[in-house]
């Protein structure tokens, strides 16, 4: 204890310590003032002041350590926030760049009463691919497809008084128009066959679209369900089919 008192009362020993760090005895560097970690004006001790007990010095050292910990914690948080912001910006830029070059083409077969471009505007597939809508009626569409899987769809239409002719390769088909009717030029089953030949995915399925072109064919399928499920589970109106208008 006498040795410690003599050391703590030695002015040369005190002057070699940083202000407020009386317990930092193993610090190899000479005292340097750092604005970020130095104690406030109220905590500074001049070298000529009366020696403080060892317990008081320990308290001063603890305060300095807390300030240093807070400083480095602030630096760490700032780095994390900057990194997160940069990553978010980079991801957003990559999405914009990827969306413009990797947009998926959706062919919508429908009349112009519904604006499907507006419906799908701003939508993405798996938050990655933009959706580019090409809308046309069956009567405005032509296509070519071969057995190797390559195909091309051509739209020849009038939009706002201007003739539009474009060719593209759709990735998906949304059919909102009947493919067959008794009207003149109302039979578009050849286009459904062409889309099926190209192997294009569709909603509804091209198989169901083609089946529904003939209502008696659909009723025949429902009759099979009636036989399988029974009239209580699947009631069906009784009908008679004649293969020609004359009947029997």
Q: How confident is the model at residue 245 (pLDDT cuts 50, 70, 90)?
A: confident
Could you tell me the two tokens for 12? 């040369």
CA angle, 174 then 175 then 177, to 5°: 150
Residue 22 has a CB neighbour count (10 Å cut-off) of 22
Percent of the chain whose pLDDT exceeds 90: 52
Q: How far apart are CA 65 and CA 30, in angstroms?
A: 18
pLDDT score of 76: 62
Q: Which of 56-60, 156-160, 176-180, 206-210 has the least mean pLDDT?
A: 56-60
pLDDT score of 47: 54
pLDDT at 144 over 50: yes
Could you tell me the two tokens for 48? 């000529």
Mean residue pLDDT across the chain: 77
Domains of the chain: 2-95 (no CATH), 104-213 (3.40.50.20)
Q: What Rg value do the Cα atoms of the chain yield, rounded? A: 41
Q: How far apart are CA 37 and CA 31, in angstroms?
A: 12
Edge-to-edge, what's the strand order for the sheet holding 162-168?
141-145, 151-159, 162-168
Report residue 215: phi and psi, to 5°.
-65, -40
Helix (H, G, I), strand (E, B) or coil at 125: strand
Mean pLDDT of 89-103: 50
pLDDT score of 24: 47
Q: Which of 89-93, 113-117, 178-182, 201-205 has the least mean pLDDT?
A: 89-93
SS (H, E, C) 13-78: HHHCCCCCCCCCCCCCCCCCCCCCCCCCHHHCCCCCCCCCCHHHHHHHHHHHHHHHHHHHHHHHHH
179-185 long-range contacts, CB within 8 A, separation 24+: 179/138, 179/209, 179/210, 179/212, 179/213, 180/213, 180/214, 185/139
pLDDT at 200 over 70: yes
Q: How confident is the model at residue 197 (pLDDT cuts 50, 70, 90)?
A: very high
Q: How far apart are CA 181 and CA 214, in angstroms?
A: 9
Q: How far apart are CA 148 and CA 113, in angstroms?
A: 36
Single pTM value for the model: 0.56
pLDDT at 91 over 80: no
Edge-to-edge, what's the strand order for the sheet holding 124-125?
124-125, 129-136, 104-109, 172-175, 202-203
Closest of 60, 59, 32, 55 to residue 44, by C-alpha: 60
Q: How far apart are CA 130 and CA 124, in angstroms?
A: 5
Helix (H, G, I), strand (E, B) or coil at 227: helix
Q: Which of 75-84, 179-188, 238-247 has the least mean pLDDT?
A: 75-84
Q: What is the pLDDT of residues 34-76, one digit of tens each?
A: 555 555 555 555 555 555 554 444 444 444 445 555 655 665 6
Mean pLDDT of 153-160: 95
């Amino acid at each position: 204890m006498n040795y410690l008192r003599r050391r703590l009362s030695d002015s040369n020993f005190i002057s070699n310590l940083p202000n407020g760090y009386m317990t930092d005895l193993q610090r190899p560097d000479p005292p340097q003032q750092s604005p970020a970690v130095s104690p406030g004006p109220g905590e500074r001790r001049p070298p000529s002041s009366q020696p403080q007990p060892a317990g008081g010095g320990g308290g001063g050292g603890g305060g300095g350590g807390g300030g240093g910990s807070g400083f480095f914690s602030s630096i760490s948080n700032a780095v994390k926030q900057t990194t997160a912001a940069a990553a978010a910006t980079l991801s957003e830029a990559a999405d914009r760049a990827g969306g413009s070059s990797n947009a998926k083409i959706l062919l919508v077969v429908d009349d112009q009463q519904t604006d499907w471009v507006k419906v799908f505007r701003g939508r993405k597939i798996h938050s990655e691919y933009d959706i580019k809508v090409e809308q046309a009626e069956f009567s405005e569409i032509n296509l070519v497809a071969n057995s190797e899987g390559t195909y091309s769809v051509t739209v020849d239409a009038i939009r706002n008084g201007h003739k539009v002719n474009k060719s593209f390769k759709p990735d998906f088909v949304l059919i909102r128009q009947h493919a067959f009717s008794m009207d003149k030029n109302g039979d578009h089953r050849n286009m459904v066959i062409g889309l099926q030949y190209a192997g294009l995915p569709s909603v509804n399925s091209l198989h169901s679209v083609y089946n529904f072109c003939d209502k008696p064919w659909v009723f025949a399928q429902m009759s099979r369900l009636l036989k399988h499920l029974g009239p209580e589970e699947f009631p069906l109106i009784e009908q008679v089919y004649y293969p020609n208008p004359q009947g029997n």
